[in-house]
Chains A and B, each alone.
Chain A
């Protein structure tokens, strides 16, 4: 079947089998390989993208279900060479080790701050419960997200 999605602001179409998972469509058809597959069982969050602005695990959604919707992947966050503030905060706070979980962490974290711009440390830890880091670098991940929240709150005051 033919589907059309808007990914990172650009309209993209493809021909998929109904059973094609969204993450495979993004990676294999659209060549957007920034979105990783970790567990493939909705546990790890490595495949997190935004669907209509909200974090979603793209391994647990059919490409067909995304037809006509607006998607953002990790590739869509930066503005050219200028990193998204969340990406920069991860970089500055050493919020990654091997980096495998990072695209999903960043996408989940951006969605988290959209919903709760001023989270406590506990809010961040609970808000990222759907994302696993097998390098177990959670401390700096949480630090990165809190830094990003503090920065954007500072900027808006």
Chain B
């Protein structure tokens, strides 16, 4: 399978990427590792007429301690996240989940920025970003702005990024983590999650992100509220499908996904130390 023809522009700086986006507007798509976009283009489910390749922006490949938060450059690869000792101590949920994205070959190429910006509800990292209360930094022609992960996902494969903006950094608050868990249910090792759950308990509150339970990555808000008001894991998990719109597909019916969400949220809460 070969993608439809397109024009290829390699950006050698953030500014060059931004001016290409301004020049080509809606026609352009950003290419980072390409492990979400290229499969769609090969199936001709996406056919952008211009690809702006930001994959060489090595300036955006870093994991730094910025005091209150960990700053992660958008071009940081899953493999970098998986093996980062800083993340292992400051954001173990993220390091662990990154190690479960696709397979080693995919993790060598795929990037956190690409994964978050692609806004696929079946991806693992958006749910982690939601659970951890991450902030997404977008850079556009007028400078940068910060977007809370909880405001970032607006529709199926749609985010709050404007067409002329580039996701440049992800900020993960440094939490005093009491417990965390990542549950990914799939039938074959490297598959997308049929349902996934990312949980982190820290600083007196609990964040729970859901994978593949609707048209966008979701927060399990009902579960989070219940835990806040003192519910135990089983009672809180019973609310896991509230506010979700799970789809039926070849892997699972929506009812089965709802069942999985309840089971996995319970396991996830328990593994994070909630009784």
| B-binding residues in A (CB < 8 A) | 1, 17-21, 24, 40-43, 45, 48, 51, 54-57, 60-62, 64-65, 67, 108, 111-112, 115, 126-127, 129-131
Contacts and interface: CB of A to CB of B under 8 A. Distances in A.
B103 A65 contact: no
Interface string B90-128: 000000000000111110110000000000000000000
Given A41-B39, A60-B35, A55 B8 contact: no
B178 interface: no
B8 A18 contact: yes
Given A60-B109, A130-B102, A130-B106, A1 B79 contact: no
A19 B190 contact: no
Given A19-B4, A40-B42, A129-B190, A56 B105 contact: yes
A37 B21 CA distance: 34
B105 A57 contact: yes
Nearest to A40: B1
A1 B8 contact: yes
A148 B41 CA distance: 38
Contacts of A115: 104
Given A19-B2, A55-B105, A108-B104, A126 B39 contact: no
Contacts of A130: 102-106, 190
Contacts of A67: 10
Nearest to A69: B56
A65 B53 contact: yes
B25 to A, nearest CB: 19
Interface in B232-263: none
B190 A43 contact: yes
Contacts of B34: 60-62, 65
A82 to B, nearest CB: 27
A21 B38 CA distance: 10
A19 B3 contact: yes
Contacts of B53: 64-65
- Bin the interface of chain B by size: 20 to 34
Given A24-B2, A131-B103, 19 more contacts: A17-B5, A18-B6, A18-B51, A19-B41, A20-B2, A40-B1, A41-B1, A42-B39, A42-B105, A42-B106, A51-B108, A55-B105, A57-B105, A57-B106, A62-B38, A64-B10, A65-B53, A129-B104, A129-B190
A47 to B, nearest CB: 9
A23 to B, nearest CB: 11
Given A18-B8, A55-B108, A129 B189 contact: yes
A18 B109 contact: no
A56 B3 contact: no
B55 interface: yes
B62 to A, nearest CB: 18
Nearest to A53: B108
A18 B7 contact: yes
Contacts of A55: 104-105, 108
B235 to A, nearest CB: 35
A99 B152 CA distance: 46
Contact of A21 (B2, B7, B51, B105): B2
Interface in B189-243: 189-190
A42 to B, nearest CB: 6
A65 B9 CA distance: 10
B193 to A, nearest CB: 14
Nearest to B83: A115
B109 A56 contact: yes
B188 to A, nearest CB: 8
Nearest to A43: B190
Given A1-B8, A18-B51, A62-B38, A112 B3 contact: no
Contacts of A18: 5-8, 51
Nearest to B191: A43
Nearest to A17: B5
A149 to B, nearest CB: 16
Contact of A126 (B4, B10, B109, B189): B189
